[in-house]
Amino acid sequence: MINIAIDGPAGAGKSTIARKVAEKLSFIYVDTGAMYRAMALYLHRKGIAADDTEAIARVCKEPRISIEYRDGEQVVLLDGENVNSFLRTQEVSDMASKSSAVPEVRKRLVELQQKLAAEQSVVMDGRDIGTVVLPDAQVKIYLTASVRVRAKRRFLELKEKGENPVLEKIEEEIAERDHRDMTREVAPLRQADDAVLVDSSDMTINEVTSHILNIIRDRTGSGRRPVPGL
């Protein structure tokens, strides 16, 4: 089994890049953020307050969360229901950000992630994949971009959706979220000692993808073709 870990802050392009890299290698792409979001959806539906840590620690043991692949896309199942289309709302994002700091939530989801990676070759993205979930991953990437660039990307995304975003406000929110992710007590966002830093600020999606594929090629065997699809 070959495991590739991609960590980094929100908005660095992790999921886009990880999905492309997985496709090139014919590996499974595992989006761990979507698992935290599915748990958050369950808690939200139960009417739990995002700061009620005790209730979150208790209730998070209830739902069955699993993932499946349909047409190559990850589908997150919450007690058997496909919840993909409910995971990107503001309420779920807020709840995920708070509930993912609760150790009981992490314990359950990390176990699931480790099981997936033991069964098949994966490209897994998140915040703690290289440091906690897959410390023995053959390749670890820490993908980042400047706050300004990430804010601009988000700004354009929102504009395209017909919204009327304010760049400075987005920049502030991203900086705040970085701070929260990096300073939280449990599994803070941090570059693993053996991770390769990739700064995508001045790179296109295709450039980042081929750069990462090159790193994987270098790390998993020199000169040979050790990974299918490379």
If the CB atoms of residues 35 and 227 are measured against ligand DC, the closer one turns out to be 35
Note whether 188 binds ligand DC by CB under 6 A: no
Q: In angstroms, rounded to a whole number, what is the distance separating the alpha carbons of residues 216 and 227?
A: 9
What is the DSSP secondary-structure string of 145-171? Answer: --HHHHHHHHHHHHHHTT----HHHHH
Q: In angstroms, rounded to a whole number, what is the distance separating the alpha carbons of residues 67 and 112?
A: 9
Q: Which amino acid is at 209?
A: T
The correct pick among 18, 21, 32, 200 for binding ligand DC (CB under 6 A) is 32
Note whether 96 binds ligand DC by CB under 6 A: yes
If the CB atoms of residues 93 and 226 are measured against ligand DC, the closer one turns out to be 93
Q: In angstroms, rounded to a whole number, what is the distance separating the alpha carbons of residues 96 and 19?
A: 21
Note whether 36 binds ligand DC by CB under 6 A: yes
Note whether 37 binds ligand DC by CB under 6 A: yes
Q: In angstroms, rounded to a whole number, what is the distance separating the alpha carbons of residues 9 and 173?
A: 12
Q: Which amino acid is at 103?
A: P
Note whether 142 binds ligand DC by CB under 6 A: no
The correct pick among 21, 59, 60, 100 for binding ligand DC (CB under 6 A) is 100
Q: How far is the CB of 176 from ligand DC (least distance, A)?
A: 12
Note whether 217 binds ligand DC by CB under 6 A: no
The residues that bridge with 81 in the sheet, in sequence order, are 78
Q: How far is the CB of 115 from ligand DC (least distance, A)?
A: 15
Region 113-132 residues binding ligand DC, contact defined as CB under 6 A: 126-128
Q: How far is the CB of 110 from ligand DC (least distance, A)?
A: 8
Q: In angstroms, rounded to a whole number, what is the distance separating the alpha carbons of residues 57 and 86?
A: 22
Nearest to 48 by CA among 95, 84, 83, 101: 95
Name the site residues for ligand DC (rule: CB under 6 A): 10, 32-33, 36-37, 96-97, 100, 126-128
